[in-house]
Amino acid sequence: MAGNSIGQLFRLTTYGESHGKSIGGIIDGCPAGLIVDIEKIQLALNRRKPGQSNITTQRKEDDQLVFLSGIFEGKTTGTPIAFEIQNKDHKSKDYHHIKDSYRPSHADYVYDAKYGHRDYRGGGRSSARETACRVVGGSIGEQLLAHYGVRIFSYVQSVGSLALTKSYSEIDFTKIFSNIVRCPDSEMADKMIAYIEEVKKRGDTVGGTIQCVIQGLPVGLGEPVFDKLHADLAKAMMSINAVKGFEYGSGFQAAKMYGSEHNDAFYKEEESGRIRTKSNLSGGIQGGISNGEDIYCKIAFKPIATIMHNQESVNKKGEKTTVEGKGRHDPSVLPRAVPIVSAMAALVMADHLLRSKVGKI
């Protein structure tokens, strides 16, 4: 109820504050017998961690992952998979200046209002550090999905007004991690990097969008009414820090279209015998259920609220105060959010994959 779990059958529960002893989680419901590649999970974590490049925060965090249970002789046992990542770069002293001040567009004020007191160090539970646990859970989900032939790709589609206009189908997904901004088009990537560096110099931050594509999903995942596949996907993506919008398939563009141009005609693919659609404005989901075509969606991130400018605010008592612009923060959340978006997609798809196993006799 307190919202620290996601998924029904494949269920991740996370814990941890930015500056507590550790962060971590428990994955309950991962089927037994899955061979787990821990290095792949650590790789995903490394792609999320701070301090990777000069366009991400210079904070160093090792994010060394340790599994505590649920994996034996390299395979899942069907029991809970617990994991832990130590918090090392505490520097708690850095945060006393925000103990009583409410940083604009952060969660400081609402936490105080909701809970009465809060762990103010580094944002506590509201810190994006929490997303590391999503990456671990999602990465195991991705390995479960891979067992069934499902693949997930995410990449930076826009930063500020710089947008890749190509469709995902024209993209070479193997190039996503070939540059530090995680945009698979090298020309656009260079522009984005230069732009983010400039924004950083100004002490400012900038938003952007990430595209996510899911391929190879079987037909029949998703439940027809409230737990439509894209509804659960939307929730998962919107739950990532800084996300303000979600669309899938034709998305907001659909609002301007006619039915006669939007419908996806069915046909039978001769070689496979599968029923497919000629176009895919539906985005791989019809009536909330996967139809076997690619699922694709776009997620909008706001600019990070922590900027290197002094900002006016109030303290607990409502008195005027100034929040100083200092510390080490990302000029753009986008590059580091790429593995988080994939993780959230994997968590939702792994859960619905299991749920789909009990749909008929």
Q: Which of 29, 59, 89, 177 binds a copy of itself (CB under 8 A)?
A: 29
In the complex with a copy of itself, the residue whose CB is nearer, 171 or 304, is 304
Residue 355 binds to a copy of itself (criterion: CB under 8 A): yes
In the complex with a copy of itself, the residue whose CB is nearer, 1 or 174, is 1
The residues that bridge with 22 in the sheet, in sequence order, are: 86
Residue 21 binds to a copy of itself (criterion: CB under 8 A): yes
Residue 5 binds to a copy of itself (criterion: CB under 8 A): yes
Binding mask 119-138 for a copy of itself (x = CB under 8 A): x----xxx---x--------
Per the listing, tokens 């646990």 go with 133
Report the run of H or E that residue 186 belongs to, with start and end: helix 186-201
The tokens describing 313, both together, are 């605010």
Tell which positions 190-229 bind a copy of itself, by CB under 8 A.
199, 204-209, 219-220, 222-228
Q: Which of 3, 165, 174, 271 binds a copy of itself (CB under 8 A)?
A: 3
Q: Are 14 and 23 in contact (CB under 8 A)?
A: yes
Residue 358 binds to a copy of itself (criterion: CB under 8 A): yes
**Interatomic CA distance for residues 232 and 235, integer angstroms:** 5
Q: Which of 173, 175, 263, 327 binds a copy of itself (CB under 8 A)?
A: 263
Q: Which of 165, 169, 174, 260 binds a copy of itself (CB under 8 A)?
A: 260
Q: Which of 38, 146, 180, 254 binds a copy of itself (CB under 8 A)?
A: 254
Q: Please report the sign of the dihedral spanned by the C-alpha atoms of residue 36, residue 83, residue 32, residue 212.
A: negative
Closest CA to 232 of 241, 243, 221: 221
Tell which positions 72-101 bind a copy of itself, by CB under 8 A.
72-73, 75, 77-82, 84
Tell which positions 327-346 bind a copy of itself, by CB under 8 A.
none
Residue 50 binds to a copy of itself (criterion: CB under 8 A): no
- Taking CA 279 as the corner, what is the angle to CA 277 and CA 285, rounded to the nearest 5 degrees? 65
**Interatomic CA distance for residues 167 and 171, integer angstroms:** 7
Residue 14 binds to a copy of itself (criterion: CB under 8 A): yes
In the complex with a copy of itself, the residue whose CB is nearer, 47 or 352, is 352
Q: How far is the CB of 177 from a copy of itself (least distance, A)?
A: 22
**Interatomic CA distance for residues 262 and 254, integer angstroms:** 7
In the complex with a copy of itself, the residue whose CB is nearer, 172 or 198, is 198
Q: Are 87 and 21 in contact (CB under 8 A)?
A: yes
Per-position DSSP letters for 35-98, written without gaps between them: BP-HHHHHHHHHHHSTTSSTTS--------EEE-SSEETTEE-SS-EEEEEE-----GGGGGGG
Residue 271 binds to a copy of itself (criterion: CB under 8 A): no
